[in-house]
A and B are shown apart, each in its own frame.
Chain A
Amino acid sequence: MPRRVVRRTRSSITPETQAQIPIKVKINGVEYSHTVEPRLLLVHYIRDLVGLTGTHVGCDTSHCGACTVLVKGLWGDDWLAVKSCTVLAAQVDGKEVLTIEGLAKNGELHPLQRAFWENHGLQCGFCTPGMIMAALGLLLRNPNPTREEIKWGISGNLCRCTGYVNIIKSIEAAAKEMREKGVTV
C-alpha cells in the first residue's frame, strides 16, 4: 500500500501570501464583501461582481479615462480620481469607492450630471461617466479652476465625439453651482 503523502502547503499553515482574498469595499455608501483573486481589477470588480455597469471599460490601458472612479483612503484620506483599470480590487479593501451611480441624491442629479445634460457635454455618452468622475476629482481639489486648469484636469480622459468644448463648458457651469450651493460629492 502506497505511503500516504501529506503535502503541507504554505497556505495550509499560516497563509502569508494569498491566492484568494476576502475584501470589503464601500461603494456609493453600500458595503460589499467578496472573495476575489488578487489579479481582479477594480473596474471588473465594480462591473462584474457588484453589478454597477455605469463605469466603462474603454482602452483598458490607463489612457482613456472611461473607467475613472473616486477612491477614498487608498493614498491618503481625500477622494482621489483613479483609473479603475489600473487598480486592483485588492488595493481598495477597506476603502471607499464612488462611481457615477453614487452621484444623484434622492432622484436629483448631481450638478455635474445636470450641467453635462444642459450644456450638451456628451454625444454618444461612452466617456461621460469617467469624464464626470474626473471632473469631480478635479473640482474637489480645485473648486474654482480656470479653463486651462480644467483642460489639464481632464487630459487623461478621451472623448471622440464632442471636441471637448461643451465638456469644458459643463464643468465650468457645474463648478459655479457647486461653489454657490456648497455641493461636493
Chain B
Amino acid sequence: MLRTKQKRTEQAADLRLQSQIGEEERFGDLMRRMARENKTAVISFFVIILMVLAAALAPLLTPYEENGMDLLHRLSAPSTEHLLGTDEGGRDVLTRLLFGARVSLLIGVVPALLSLILGAVLGAIAGYRGGIADAVIMRIADVMLAFPSMLLAMVIMYALGGGILNVFLTLTLVNWANVARVVRAQTLKLRSSEFVEAAQIIGVSRNRIMRRHILPNCLPTLLVLFTLNIPASILTESSLSFLGLGIQPPNASWGLMINTGRQYLYNTPWLCFAPGAAIMLTMLAFNFLGNGLLDVLDPRMQKQ
C-alpha cells in the first residue's frame, strides 16, 4: 500500500518534470498520461477499439451468415453452438450483434460528428458575428428545437425514405441545433474575454480569431456533447427502426434487434438483453473516454 503510494508520488513528480520541459506531446505521450491519470478512460478506449475491430472483422469471427435463417432452431437458448442463442428467424444472435455493431457504431459516430461540426461552425458564427447572421441561424435552430426531436426525425425519415445515409442526414439535422446553442453561448462568453480583445488589437482577422481562439476554447464542451450525442443517436435510430423508418430488416442494427426481441421478452429475454448490453457498453465507453480526454486535453489540468 505504502509502496504504491510512493510510486504514485514519484510518477507525479516525473509528470511535473515532463510538463516543465514542455515538449510538444505526441499521441503516445497523451495516452500514457491519460493512463496515469484516468484508467477508466484508457480501458474505455480499448473497449471501443475492440468493438470497432469486432465489427470490422465480423465475417471472420462467426461461422454463421448475417441473415442465415434456420427455422428449425427458432428462439433457441444460449448454447455452445449459438453462444447468445437464436432469434425468431433462427439467426445466430451473436452474429447479428457483430454485424449490427457496424451499423450502430456508424450511426452513433457519424451523425454525432457531422452535427458537431455543423453546430459548432454555425454556433460560433452566430455568437461571434452577431447581428443578422445570429438572428437567422438561431431562429432556424429554434424552429428545429420547437419540434419534439423524435417527431422531427420521423417526418424527415418519412420524406427521405429508409437507408443508412438518410439516417445520418436525419440525425444530423435533428442534433445540430442543440450543439449550435451551446457553442453560441460559449462564444458569447469568449468573445468578451481579454485574450480575444488582445487578438483584435494585434489585428487578427475575425475568421482567424474564430478558428484559433474561439473554437479551440469550445473544445471541452464539444467533446462532452460528442460523447453524449453518440448514445443518443444510437437510441434514436433504434426507435426509428422500430417504427419501420430506420434501418430496414433483414439488416441488423442494435436498436432493431431490441425492438424485434421485445415481442419475445418473457420467453427469450436474451434477444433484448444482448443488444441492450452492447448499447450500454458503447455509451459508457464513449462517456468515460470523453471525460478522460477532457482532463488530458485541457492544458490547465496538466499541472495537477
Partners in one complex: no
Taking beta carbons and an 8 Å cutoff, which residues of B are in contact with A?
A: none
Taking beta carbons and an 8 Å cutoff, which residues of A are in contact with B?
A: none
